[in-house]
Structures are given as C-alpha cells and as structure tokens.
Chain A
C-alpha cells in the first residue's frame, strides 16, 4: 500500500554513493596492464626527444624517416619536449600505461637507477658486438649486466676561447696550471675579464670546475668514489680542490653571478670575457661567421703524476620497459647504434658532436672537432659530468656549496661540512 518515499536528501546520497562506487571500480578495472594485449602488438613507435633546436628536430626526424625505409612495418612519430620539462616528465613517462617507446637520454647514474626499478627495456639484443669501446659498453650496462642504453654521440668540455682575440691580446694556450694562472694575470692586466662563469640560471656550471679540478688533482678513481658517497667531502683532498680553485676566483667575471648562460656566452663571444670552461654547445651557439674562430684548450694539468681524465658526456637512447611495441623499440635502438645512423644524425643536426660508434666518421670534420676527438682519445679516463655520474640531488648540494664558496672563499671548511651533510641527506642516510 505504502509508496516508497524517496526524500531528496536520500536520493542525493544514493547518487553520490553510486558515483563514488563507479569511480572506484573504474580505478580497479582500468589499472594499467602493460603488454597485456598478447595478440595484437602495436606498430606505433613514439620517439620522445629533448632536442628542441631546429637542427636537432630535423636530425631526429631524419633518423625516423630512414628507419621506416628499412622497417616499413612500424609507424614512428616524433614528440619533442623542452629539456627541463623533459627531465621532469621522464619519471612519470616511464611509468605510464602507454609510455613513449623510445626516449633520448644520457649515460650515467640516472639511467642505472631507472634500470634498477625495471623501467628500461633490455637492449642487449640491439647492442652491436663491435664498434663501441669497452668504456662506452660499460656505461650502457646496468648492474645486472644487461644493456639498457644505446650511445650515439658525445661531446667534450674544454676551456673555450676565440683565436682572433687571443692573437689580439698576444697570448697563447697554457698547458699547466701555473701557466694558466699567469695567463689570467696577463689578461686582467690588459683590462680583459679572464674567465666567464654565468650563474644566474646555470649554477650547474660550477660543477664543471669542480669536476675538472678534482680530476686533475685527485684523479678519476677518487672522483667516482666521492660521487658515489664512498669518500667524504670533508676529506682534505677535497679541501685542496677548493684551495686550488681559490687561486682563480679573482679572475672570474664579477658580473657573472647576475648573467644568464646565454648572456654570459654572448659576452664571451664579444671578447669581453676571454675564456669559458664549457662543452661544445658553447661554440654551436655562435653566429656562422664566428664558428671558425672558436677554439679551446685542454683544462690545464695541475699534477703531472695524475692520469689525465676528460669529461665527455655521452648521449643516446633508452626504451621504456612498458612499451607496447618492444620489437619496434629494439629495432630502432639497433638502427641508431649503426655508423650510418650516427653519421646521418650529425650531418643533419650540424652540432659539434663525435659519433659514439668508432666505425662512424664525422660527416663534417672541422679542426675544432679533430682537436676535441684527439683530446678525448688520448685521455686515460673519461667521466660524464657531475650530475650524470651522480644525480640531480647531488648536483643541488654541489651548487649550494660552490656558489657560497665563490661568495665567501674563506669559509671553505664550513662549506665542505655542509656539503657532506647535504649530500648524505640527498642520498637518504
């Protein structure tokens, strides 16, 4: 007899409950199931790149175009993201249900960490048996012995200067630390700011100074142990690095703290700063008519007894472990490891890079490139760069310490203690 009375409040509560229930069930059912589609494998192949320059984009597209000629069964697409956003997105990207299949990345600790979390595709089958030096092969291998990274090219760091400016000032490349200090003194005497170090948006540049001084004074073995947390920043050997750097501080461009990297490099290019410790990207940014004038010398030798190590950051590709198209991703990695692909990339991008596969030739050979290649080839050891050999948290600890050191060089002891504690904290102990 009685009608079921539905009050408005009850009705709303019911609707709400239904909504929550359906939302929850959506969560439960649509849980990412990577590679669950056992039958139909995807043929799409997305390459996510952080090469935003015109040349870099064209070169990536050229790689995909060539790849598809040999492997017409795949449908590759290129997706480019600004490097800082790329770096921020990559952790999320690798854990997506539908991740990008192949990504640009670099050798070093971060890639090894991804591998430890099982985020990277096993690239052992794609890694060529010959062409890569043992060092590059080791850098591409994770702790369990499988290849996770395919290197394609590297660049080098050095003290960059302009030939015409050095001629104008009548100075020559120094070989040793004492000669370098003398050169700084001479330049300052001529009213030229000797060393550019723009820090406004690029405090990470201080890492290049630390890396090189540590490599030259204490050697690559100690450097690696220090970055891995096996040695302490309060070690007297690290204090010696800062003591040596202190000799140079008066020769840094005092305006550098307020300059962005690009402003700093413009100043260097105009000859207002004489030298710039940088990678080859510094020269790549100069106008076409300046490029031939760009030159560099090796970071001066401090202790002749220490085996010479150079910084040569290695770039290449990784593939996501959750890719829906593992065969395609592996095929692409196999392709970019070939000398032809690396030559094509360098020719199209026009950047000053050296192919990682030793069977590849540099398509555009300049005196600068040959000088860099010879320098890296003759080095007893090669490191990547501070944050590539450790990670970005460690880099933050470094920039905090070193920027403070530039301001207050007298507080070195305190700074190193703080650095050690920051570094340990970032490592999680």
Chain B
C-alpha cells in the first residue's frame, strides 16, 4: 500500500502542479499572443480567438511611439532610487540595530507607521511640497520622493537582518581597531549582501512599475517613465490592444533581467533569518 502510495504521489503532485503552472502562464501567454496580432484581427474576432496570423508590427509601433525613451527615463529614475535607498537604509538600519540611539524603537515604529499610510493620502501634500522646492515635474523630484517613500520599509527589513548578525563579530572588529563606519563597511555590509540583493530587486521592481507617483509628479511627456507612457497609449474609448501588449512585454524585460540576475540572492536572502 505504501509502495503504491509513494509511486502515485509524485504523479499526483506533478499533475496538479502542471495544471497550476499552466493557469499561471495562460494570462502571460495571452499577452504575448495579443502582442503579435494585428488590431483589425483582434477587433474582428475578439481577444479569445485563434489568431489569423502573427506579426511583429505591434512591437515596431510600440518602439516607434517612443518607448525606448520612456524606458531610459524609467532607468534614470529607478537606478539612483535603488542605490540611494539601499545605502541610506543600510546605514540607518545599522545605527538602529547596533547602537544605543535614544528613541530608536520610536524611530523604527515611526518609519513603519509611515509605510502604513496609503500613498493616496500623501499625493497632494507631496505635490505641493515638490512644487515649493522646485522639484515638480523633474526626474530628480521623482528620485527624491520615491527614495523617501521606500526608505522606512527597507530600513525596517534590514534592521531585522542586522540584528541577526552575532555581536561577537562586530565586537571583534572593534577590538582590532575598526571605527564605527569601518565596522559598517567591512563587516556588516558584506554580511547583509543577500538581504540587500533581495531588497534591491524588490525595490527595482516597485520603482520601475510605479505609476501613481509618476502621474502625480511628472507632467512633461518627455520625462515620463514607461508605465505612464504605456497608459498614454490607451485611447479614451478604444485602445490598440496589440500595441499596448507589445509595449508591456518590452517594459517587463528590465525587471525580468534584474530578477533573474538576483534570483539566487533572493532565495538565500529569504532564508538567512530562518536558521537563527
């Protein structure tokens, strides 16, 4: 009985998982297929129909409508945001985790509380502030705001990781003459690398996919990142589904690359706290 059980089980498992995986892939496949069809074909036969033929035209149209430019804008905003957030968050987390700073718990909770506010609540005040500081409708303004918005969460997570680093390691470094900053740079930072990589890829995805802040803080079409640019391809009543699908596929490429590149860290980053 147990013998048959152990033979049947893998089949059940793999069968079930294949179905789940297929369900997972269907929407993605639908987007890719849609992106390869002509608009008239789609309008005539509907989305859920067998394509009459495949064409790369939608991709050409998406790129011709200036998608490259908006992807570059997205990267100009995303890369500094990720780097600056991680740098500041890791410093703050180190300070809060390893030093007896007065009100450190309050500070940490304040940062977390800030994250619990819905972004919609902040839109108008932040818009007015950026205008006062002359950062409205500029990519620098976007970088500043997105960095500030994410900082609390990243600090909170990194704080958790850094508390897991044995005190003995940092004490040993101190005894060997390392300064506070030296300990941060040579001991804490290398040990937090998996967590940083995991957070980095998350931060990249979130920032790259941000839509709300960019349509609030940016106005000039030339400065728009890729998400509002794709939104701008939609018409008031009808949209070229195929071109939008193609644009979406193109826009997903950078995030996919980042995720594939950091996937290894991502999984080990998730595990690092678990064995403590």
Which of A's residues lie within 8 Å of B, judged by CB?
26-27, 30-32, 48, 50, 52-53, 78-83, 85, 88-89, 92-93, 96-97, 100, 261-263, 265-267, 269-270, 281-282, 284-288
Contacts and interface: CB of A to CB of B under 8 A. Distances in A.
A100 B220 CA distance: 10
B124 A82 contact: no
Interface centre among A27, A31, A81, A288, by most B CB within 10 Å? A81
Contacts of A267: 46
Interface in B226-248: 228, 231-239, 241
17 contacts: A27-B132, A30-B133, A30-B134, A48-B219, A50-B236, A53-B235, A78-B221, A80-B232, A81-B215, A83-B235, A89-B215, A93-B219, A96-B131, A96-B136, A97-B131, A285-B43, A287-B40
Contact of A100 (B42, B132, B219, B231): B219
Contacts of B238: 261-262, 265, 281, 284-285
A288 B40 CA distance: 9
Contact of B221 (A53, A79, A266): A79
A424 to B, nearest CB: 26
B123 to A, nearest CB: 9
Contact of B133 (A26, A81, A263): A26
Given A48-B219, A52-B235, 7 more contacts: A52-B234, A82-B233, A85-B232, A97-B131, A262-B239, A265-B238, A267-B46
Contact of A85 (B40, B220, B231): B231
A79 to B, nearest CB: 5
A287 B44 contact: yes
A115 to B, nearest CB: 22
B188 to A, nearest CB: 21
Interface centre among A31, A265, A285, by most B CB within 10 Å? A285
A26 B128 CA distance: 13
Contact of B46 (A52, A81, A266): A266
A261 B236 CA distance: 10
A231 B236 CA distance: 32
B75 interface: no
B43 A286 contact: yes
Contacts of A262: 237-239, 241
B165 interface: no
A8 to B, nearest CB: 11
A224 to B, nearest CB: 25
Interface string B162-177: 0000000000000000
Interface centre among A78, A85, A88, A93, by most B CB within 10 Å? A85
B127 interface: yes
A263 B46 contact: yes
Contacts of B131: 32, 96-97
A92 B218 CA distance: 12
A259 to B, nearest CB: 10
Given A92-B124, A285-B237, A285-B238, A30 B43 contact: no
A282 B132 CA distance: 43
Contacts of A48: 219
B47 interface: yes
Contacts of B221: 78-81
A52 B133 contact: no
Nearest to A88: B215
Nearest to B215: A85
A314 to B, nearest CB: 15
A52 B232 contact: yes
B232 A82 contact: yes
A138 B268 CA distance: 68
Contacts of A30: 132-134
B237 A269 contact: no
A20 to B, nearest CB: 14
B43 A83 contact: no
Interface centre among B40, B45, B124, by most A CB within 10 Å? B40
Contacts of B42: 266
B47 A82 contact: no
Interface in B119-174: 124, 127, 131-134, 136
B132 A26 contact: yes
Contacts of B47: 263
Interface centre among B133, B228, B232, by most A CB within 10 Å? B232
Nearest to A279: B237
A100 B127 CA distance: 16
B219 to A, nearest CB: 7
Given A52-B234, A80-B221, A89-B215, A269 B132 contact: no
B237 A281 contact: yes
Contact of B228 (A85, A281, A287): A85
B89 to A, nearest CB: 20
B135 to A, nearest CB: 11
Nearest to B234: A82
A81 B43 CA distance: 24
A75 to B, nearest CB: 14
Interface centre among A266, A269, A282, by most B CB within 10 Å? A266
A81 B235 CA distance: 10
A52 B221 CA distance: 12
Interface string B183-224: 000000000000000000000000000000001100111000
A82 B231 contact: yes
A82 B132 contact: no
B263 to A, nearest CB: 33
A80 B228 CA distance: 11
A29 to B, nearest CB: 9
